[in-house]
Structure 1
């Protein structure tokens, strides 16, 4: 998803990285690239030696198949890219790549089951918002320290500097910090953007959308002139919805200045921590009692449902669908011309533009940056809180007998721009063409609906190799620079802290956390009348759930214990 902005920012824009990262998938069938494992697994060589990138005259290693797990749908023409890699590296790496793409809804459990059964998985996509923290605490992932900043692995050394790695270490079973995954990311965060139809705006006699008033006028014009088009289509999981746009145009209270830092503990469980003078003063959790906010500074010590009330107003005006919960594919709806706007991250501009052109050839894609401080390029931006960590990783399970061979493939990916571009963009000259050193375009006559399109956060993202599409509007290039600038972000007080889920894994697995999320989701989507009254009733229901409240208290105590130990350790190290 890369994809990192903390949850405090991702509630408004993300997570950043989470949206892009959590896009819905239509397939329910696990697919592979068709390669079969025709070789036996061999023990790895010495970890510090890149034995699989032979020097001139060196012996080519025996053929080996790597089993690689990624989530989502297999891209079109992916088999062609794998075949090109295998052809190019037959006399050097001599690897066959057996990619398995698993639907997003099934991936987390599928990976758990495979590793628990000891199945051969050589490379797995994982993240702190998935299984990664738990698997590390259970000693299921290989310590990769020796592969980085090592001249024997030049691709890894080139792409991942020490500072980048230091911010992306995890506490291992030995209680020490190590590198347990190859961090995949371009920027520290993502820019949330509204994609809209510039051609429709022109038809209505409007210019580009530049502010909140322009946006609302656009919605009104869609309702008036194109009654079969949804003014604003939203995802049914609550990410990239109306709430983010509404809050993006408010002057929200500054959480960092108040000492409040949000922490994702697991699926559907978010903690808000109050830290003063290096002490954890208070922790609240999803579904927690409202009274437990009393120690937070105003206005964070009371519930505020005003955003949900505005979402409902948009629903009643017709800006949103009546039942957005049933909308499975917001992007597809927009690309088919059935919606006039949608939200996604700006990095998806080219993919969305390609889909829109395929569905509505005469359409012209516009971009509106809905977060006011982003439009003004405020630095630091209080909405952009970063622990300077990446949110997506490639991990080597300990069940793999091919750690060196797996890392040789990843090393190859980052050894050169050409290697990297093969998997991120496809075959040069067929799927894309370079424009200078840092942009690309599609060859004339390319059918974008069937062309290769890969989600780079799964395998290829690196700050060393970034190509922007030639179609990116010039006015947006400055915002790519803005999001690449460290000065844009506020460093989280939790930077370097990784919560160990193991002591409270049974509490985090309480299904009531899912119910809390799902019950509140209807309000995020604007589907419930009188949101303030409804949310007050829901709050009373959650507070009356004794099991949920007991688990919340246990989790909070563990968060406070681990976080305070971390802060104490940081203070000692700074002396």
Structure 2
């Protein structure tokens, strides 16, 4: 994960939770709204299949699908119904394995390294897509394959979406067909804002005022749900306060390297070595000293959203507007005594549309049934009956359909949720009838502010600097997290040590390689 020079919040926030919400994306819960992306060369886009190109499904096959997220309680019921339909349509059945959010980040690459036996797999630009595409973990999807085994996908997918998903000119995933917006928002306790007569939250400054007031007055409650998680990646609050606030764009989620979106030259710089970062460290320290987050933030593994529902935490940075809207609707349904609201703390900044690889499905390079796997993806994304079933569960139980494009929660809604069925987001997504109007209003405003820029679809290939990238990640984990959470007493020394260690890890070599790739990418666009 839904695309989007002073005060900033901790850039290491909510790392474990980030994966849970990163994929939800877009508008109206599971349903994201189209915003459009700039056209690129689509000469290699697939064309519609012909009648003589019918696939052979005479042999029954059993497929294995790898998904991220916890296994839903009603998995057996839903996938039992799914397999009945798949047997009729493509003479296949499917079994899913779920990598829990607590450790998916470690287990996911190990599945490929061990060359385990599976056919389909969820992937995304935040979930190892580029990495595994370059390593040979995914099967290349050719034009002929798509035309023959995924004709509905070819018919319905904008060519630009396929182009955005290519790595070194080759396609390795079927991207989602529902463009999202990347910008992050804050979900917070509105009743507490009213209780203390605090100003509207519409900037980093006003959010800081809210956080410190909650920390000072609500004993036993954390003002901000922060968690460093496992490993290092830039996520929710990083993107809200660093990228969005400064109109910067991070090139890679594991590196502190960015460019200004309106810089036509695409000059790469080290975020940590900027005046903006130096200034925000004082802000971090102020929030930390005010007790805004736990001093044990580095080891915190709590589910922040569940802590908010339980009244233990007053706010957090949502992965995207759709997630925040869903959380708001869930709170109104499950615990209406607590009033929550959504705030855009960078309302006047550029808004970014996510590229199509925000969610998608790939085929394992060693799958024994790649053709049938692609046929399954085609159905998941484009067959309404199968899409409804796999996205929302059993009709009347997990969800209640309302017309052709809306739904409401069923009595067992909680038994089928929380995993990466976002991989087949499409135009068939239903919108939650309880989705709050205020979230829709924010999205409508954002649509007029979508900003497109030359490097929008650039993807960094770290093949030549993998050792340095790994070293940099370790440095950020060791030096940056405590610095940003105000756990380092001498801020100037802390920043200097961080920069020194990054140089020793090889960041200048990585910057040189990245700049060369950016320059080549921009030259091709002229």
Normalising by the residue count of structure 2, what TM-score does the alignment of the two structures yield?
0.79
Structure 2, unaligned stretches of length 5 or more?
23-47
Equivalent residue of 1:74, what SS?
A: coil
Q: Deviations over 1:36-63 (max 9, x none)?
A: xxxxxxxxxxx97899998xxxx96332
- TM-aligned CA distance change 1:522 to 1:229, over 3 Å: same
The residue number in structure 1 matching 2:345 is: 370
The residue number in structure 1 matching 2:507 is: 552
More relative contact order, 1 or 2 (CA 8 Å, 6+ apart)? 2
Moved more, 313-322 or 111-120: 111-120
The residue number in structure 1 matching 2:358 is: 391
Structure 1, unaligned stretches of length 5 or more?
26-46, 172-176, 256-260, 291-299, 374-380
Q: How does 1:145-544 map to 2 (within 5 A)?
A: 145-146=142-143, 150=147, 153-171=150-168, 177-184=169-176, 186-201=178-193, 203-204=195-196, 215=207, 218-219=210-211, 222-223=214-215, 225-237=217-229, 252=246, 254-255=247-248, 262-264=250-252, 268-272=254-258, 283-285=268-270, 290=273, 302=275, 304-329=277-302, 330-344=304-318, 345-349=320-324, 351-353=326-328, 356=331, 360=335, 362-373=337-348, 381-382=349-350, 384-385=351-352, 388-443=355-410, 446=411, 450-456=414-420, 458-462=422-426, 464-483=427-446, 485=447, 488-510=449-471, 512-543=472-503
The structural deviation recorded for 1:404 is 1.0
Matched residues in 2 for 1:232 and 1:310: separation?
Answer: 14
Q: Is the 1:323–1:527 contact (alpha carbons within 8 Å) kept by the matching residues of 2?
A: no
- What's the Cα RMSD here? 4.1
In the alignment of these two chains, the number of paired residues is 494
The structural deviation recorded for 1:268 is 2.7
Matched residues in 2 for 1:74 and 1:540: separation?
Answer: 43
Matched residues in 2 for 1:100 and 1:565: separation?
Answer: 40
The residue number in structure 1 matching 2:522 is: 567
Normalising by the residue count of structure 1, what TM-score does the alignment of the two structures yield?
0.73
Equivalent residue of 2:301, what SS?
A: coil
More helix by share: 2
Q: Deviations over 1:72-106 (max 9, x none)?
A: 32123122211111122322223221211123465
Q: Is the 1:123–1:406 contact (alpha carbons within 8 Å) kept by the matching residues of 2?
A: yes
The structural deviation recorded for 1:69 is 1.2
The structural deviation recorded for 1:212 is 6.2
Matched residues in 1 for 2:306 and 2:377: separation?
Answer: 32
